A and B are shown apart, each in its own frame.
Chain A
Amino acid sequence: DTGVSQDPRHKITKRGQNVTFRCDPISEHNRLYWYRQTLGQGPEFLTYFQNEAQLEKSRLLSDRFSAERPKGSFSTLEIQRTEQGDSAMYLCASSPGQGAAPEQFFGPGTRLTVL
């Protein structure tokens, strides 16, 4: 399977704990995006990487959130001191770097539940 993969698929944690999610994009894609989706809503943009450079962060990404893409391949999203409001589906997507509106390919998501 050469699609976007995310790990873990589900994460249950207690309030105040730290969690880290991983995304492996399609290998030749240099653009990588993180989105967050809550129940009944569309995904909301969190952050964008081109290769290893983080070029935009949404205001939704508070100081407790940090994302990295150290070698321009996989990416991690860490949430520190989780809160119940962080419960959501976290989606990763990748796309090629060429074209005016290249398709973003989405992973299956990591569902986070904060108790």
Chain B
Amino acid sequence: GNSVTQMEGPVTLSEEAFLTINCTYTATGYPSLFWYVQYPGEGLQLLLKATKADDKGSNKGFEATYRKETTSFHLEKGSVQVSDSAVYFCALSPFSGGYNKLIFGAGTRLAVHP
């Protein structure tokens, strides 16, 4: 079946620290991979995506590389800000049915302190 596992939170960092949030997946076929973010009091927003192996998605200083050999899509940022405090969800979309239902991980809460 299809599933996503991401590291448990909360992750607590000081401003300007390096961030890694691990995400691994199990999928049949060739899924697309996503990171969504949920800021306090707001709805889910797409942060970045990658649709095939070795693709790198990037946005707002965040990056993630689709690694088929390790079935991973780890989220990284070189220098976090207080405004990055949010819950981050890794998700996959199975290649099936010609559409894109999303299968999410449990989410990782990030708290960044000044």
Which DSSP category, helix, strand, loop or mixed, fits chain B's interface? strand
Chain B: minimal CB distance from A69 (Å) = 14
Q: Given that A42-B91, A42-B106 are contacting pairs, would A55 and B43 also be in contact in the complex, using a CB cutoff of 8 Å?
A: no
Contact A56 B104 (CB under 8 A): no
Contact partners of B99 in chain A: CB under 8 A: 31, 48, 50, 55-56
Contact B49 A103 (CB under 8 A): yes
Chain A: minimal CB distance from B68 (Å) = 16
A11-44 interface code vs B (CB 8 A; 1 in, 0 out): 0000000000000000000010101000011111
Partner of B46, one of A31, A40, A44, A104: A104
In chain B, positions 71-114 with a C-beta closer than 8 Å to chain A are 89, 91, 93, 97, 99-107
Contact B100 A104 (CB under 8 A): yes
The number of chain A residues with a CB under 8 A from chain B is 26
In the bound assembly, the distance between CA atoms of A59 and B105 in angstroms comes to: 18
Contact partners of B106 in chain A: CB under 8 A: 40-42
Chain A: minimal CB distance from B36 (Å) = 8
Chain B: minimal CB distance from A39 (Å) = 11
Contact partners of A100 in chain B: CB under 8 A: 32, 51
Interface residues of B (CB under 8 A from A): 4, 32, 34, 36, 42-46, 49, 51, 89, 91, 93, 97, 99-107
What are 24 residue pairs bridging A and B, where the CB atoms are less than 8 Å apart in the complex?
Answer: A4-B43, A33-B101, A40-B106, A41-B106, A42-B89, A42-B105, A43-B44, A43-B89, A44-B104, A45-B103, A55-B97, A55-B99, A56-B97, A56-B101, A95-B100, A101-B34, A101-B49, A101-B51, A102-B100, A103-B49, A104-B46, A104-B100, A106-B43, A106-B44
